[in-house]
């Protein structure tokens, strides 16, 4: 038995949800470029869950259900108010999502219909939790979700307590489409491993949030923004990046386990970053990002991943850094739950082996003789 570090190149399951072939990402056979240009996040979530794009009537039903499920139990809001204000938002979200299960009588109902409803419920409630966490941290009261608007619009509304502009809603909606699913990424795998024990969907999504939090995965978008803040201005980009490279430190937002010739999602976020900067009359964050890319690609041959330009996009939408990874979680909930439903459909416990590298033939020594 020889271990493959990081399971690189191991095909661990079959899935019909999303695929990465020759650097092209598709959801249910639809190219991500096509979806980013034309689909809404709600259509994308439906596609991931049910394997086809919704009809107008199906979309209307989904939007109605998402609106109906968006309010979260008041007990969960009360608990969130007790969390330390300086706790990581992802840690707080992980706890809050876990708590949702305690107030859902159907949490352990393993029927297909109940799990499908819980997938929609989680998708509706996680944006409400993230917006509430942001406001509570600032000492503000959470804003209740609005009925009849998209997840992107509702989220921005709940963050600020006022209606967002159309351009911001469209930009966030596209970012949500781009982050919705990504084959067997670390957090999705974590979610599938959890529910493959026949544990419940809330446990699966809680595990996935824990995995997404790390800086080698979803946490990289916050690390990118931290780096842009540390750099401070375009003139400091080159010395900063060269210093990092000399110290052999990783540059967040670059590299990918699967894409070696570039992440197909990055170009959309790069374009959005440029357009938002131009619209707001300040392209410095975009220009700094482009300069970093030129240096890293030139020196190391590494290309930006989905997290790199999303940092400047979210900042230009007026969203604080602490919410970047939680926004990734809002979007990826659609993919996580689609994978969890798929796992339940044809389940087998996921239990690989380890190559043992420890000591052999040890003999027990009583404690007073050690
Ligand atoms: N900056 C500098 N060097 C890098 C980077 C980077 N961002 N990424 C990879 N490398 C180098 C490594 O140092 C290593 O070099 P070496 O062989 O000389 O030691 C080589 O490239 C291979 O890197 P690994 O870390 O082994 O590649 P792996 O496939 O395990 O990791 C990962 C992929 C985790 C994404 C990595 O590229 C990385 O850490 N990137 C920065 C974090 C990041 O942006 N994560 C988000 C990924 S996308 C997502 O999850 C949504």
Give this complex's ipTM.
0.97
161 and 73 housed in the same domain: yes
In degrees, to the nearest 5, what angle opens at C-alpha 166 toward C-alphas 164 and 170? Answer: 105
188 and 239 housed in the same domain: no
37 and 180 housed in the same domain: yes
Task: Identify whether 307 is a catalytic site residue.
Answer: yes
CA pseudo-torsion sign 3, 8, 9, 10: positive
What is the pLDDT at residue 260?
86
Q: Cα Rg for the chain, rounded, in angstroms?
A: 21
312 and 203 housed in the same domain: no
302 lines ligand 1 (CB under 6 A): yes
- CA–CA gap between residue 303 and residue 297 (Å, rounded): 6
**27 pairs with which residues across the strands?**
18, 30
60 and 183 housed in the same domain: yes
CATH number of domain containing 307: 1.10.230.10
In degrees, to the nearest 5, what angle opens at C-alpha 273 toward C-alphas 269 and 275? Answer: 115
The one catalytic residue among 173, 182, 307, 339: 307
CATH number of domain containing 204: 1.10.580.10
Longest dimension (CA), the chain: 76
304 lines ligand 1 (CB under 6 A): no
Residue 252 alpha carbon to ligand 1 centre in Å? 8
Atom number of ligand 1 nearest to Cα 253: 44
238 and 161 housed in the same domain: no
77 and 193 housed in the same domain: yes
Residue 95 is assigned to a structural domain of this protein: yes
What is the pLDDT at residue 52?
98
Chain centroid offset of residue 279 CA: 26
Cβ contact 83:95 at 8 Å: yes
115 and 253 housed in the same domain: no
What is the pLDDT at residue 1?
84
Residue 302 alpha carbon to ligand 1 centre in Å? 9
The one catalytic residue among 179, 182, 217, 256: 256
Residue 79 is assigned to a structural domain of this protein: yes
Cβ contact 185:167 at 8 Å: no
Cβ contact 31:23 at 8 Å: no
Task: Identify whether 256 is a catalytic site residue.
Answer: yes
Residue 288 is assigned to a structural domain of this protein: yes
Ranges in the chain, pLDDT < 50 = none
159 lines ligand 1 (CB under 6 A): no
- CA–CA gap between residue 327 and residue 212 (Å, rounded): 11
255 lines ligand 1 (CB under 6 A): yes
Q: Which of 209, 253, 255, 298 to mutate to test the pocket of ligand 1 (most atoms within 8 A of CB)?
A: 255
Residue 228 is assigned to a structural domain of this protein: yes
Residues 6+ apart with CB under 8 A from 223: 215, 252, 253, 307
196 and 234 housed in the same domain: no
Buried b / exposed e over 189-228, threshold 16 CB at 10 Å, is bbbbbbbbeebbbbbbbbbbbbbbbebebbbbbbbbbebb
Residue 354 is assigned to a structural domain of this protein: no
Residue 301 alpha carbon to ligand 1 centre in Å? 12
Residue-range definition of the domain harbouring residue 137: 20-165+176-214+329-345
Residue 25 is assigned to a structural domain of this protein: yes
Q: Tell me how far apart the terminal alpha carbons of the chain are, to the nearest angstrom.
A: 33
81 and 43 housed in the same domain: yes
339 and 203 housed in the same domain: yes
DSSP string, 56-82: HHHHHHHHHHHHHH-S--HHHHHHHTT
Residue 255 alpha carbon to ligand 1 centre in Å? 5
Supply 227's token pair. Answer: 């780096």
Residue 115 is assigned to a structural domain of this protein: yes
Number of folded domains in the chain?
A: 2
252 lines ligand 1 (CB under 6 A): yes
**Residues 229-263: tens digit of each pLDDT:** 999 999 999 999 999 999 999 999 999 999 989 99
269 lines ligand 1 (CB under 6 A): no
- CA–CA gap between residue 44 and residue 351 (Å, rounded): 31
Q: CA dist 98 to 104, 125, 179, Å?
A: 11, 12, 22
188 and 60 housed in the same domain: yes
């Amino acid at each position: 038995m020889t271990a493959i570090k990081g399971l690189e190149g191991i095909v661990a399951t079959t899935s019909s949800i999303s695929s990465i072939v020759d650097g092209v990402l598709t959801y249910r056979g639809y190219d991500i470029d096509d979806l980013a240009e034309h689909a809404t996040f709600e259509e994308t979530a439906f596609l991931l869950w049910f394997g086809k794009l919704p009809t107008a009537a199906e979309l209307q039903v989904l939007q109605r259900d998402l609106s109906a499920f968006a309010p979260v139990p008041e007990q969960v809001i009360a608990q969130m108010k007790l969390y330390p204000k300086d706790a990581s938002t992802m840690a707080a979200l992980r706890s809050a999502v876990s708590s949702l299960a305690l107030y859902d009588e159907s949490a352990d109902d393993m029927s297909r219909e109940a799990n499908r409803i819980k997938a929609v419920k989680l998708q509706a409630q996680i944006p409400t939790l993230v917006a509430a966490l942001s406001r509570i941290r600032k000492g503000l009261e959470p804003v209740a979700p609005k009925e009849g608007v998209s997840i992107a619009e509702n989220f921005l509304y709940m963050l600020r307590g006022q209606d967002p502009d159309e351009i911001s809603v469209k930009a966030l909606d596209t970012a949500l489409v781009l982050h919705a699913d990504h084959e067997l990424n670390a957090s999705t795998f974590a979610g599938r491993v959890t529910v493959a024990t026949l544990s419940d969907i809330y446990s699966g999504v809680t595990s996935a949030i824990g995995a997404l939090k790390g800086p080698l995965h979803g946490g990289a978008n916050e690390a990118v923004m931290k780096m842009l803040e540390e750099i401070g201005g375009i003139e400091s980009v080159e010395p900063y990046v060269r210093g990092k490279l000399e110290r052999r430190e990783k540059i967040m937002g670059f590299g990918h386990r699967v894409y070696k010739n570039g992440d197909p999602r990055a170009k959309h976020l790069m374009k959005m970053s440029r357009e938002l900067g131009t619209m707001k009359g300040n392209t410095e964050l975009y220009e700094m990002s482009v300069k970093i890319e030129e240096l890293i690609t030139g020196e190391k041959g590494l290309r930006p991943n989905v997290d790199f330009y999303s940092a400047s996009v979210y900042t230009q939408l007026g969203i604080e850094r602490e919410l970047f990874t939680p926004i990734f979680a809002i979007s990826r909930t659609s993919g996580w739950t689609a994978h969890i439903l798929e796992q339940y459909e044809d389940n087998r416990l996921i239990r690989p082996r380890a190559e043992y590298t420890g000591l052999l033939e040890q003999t027990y020594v009583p404690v007073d003789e050690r």
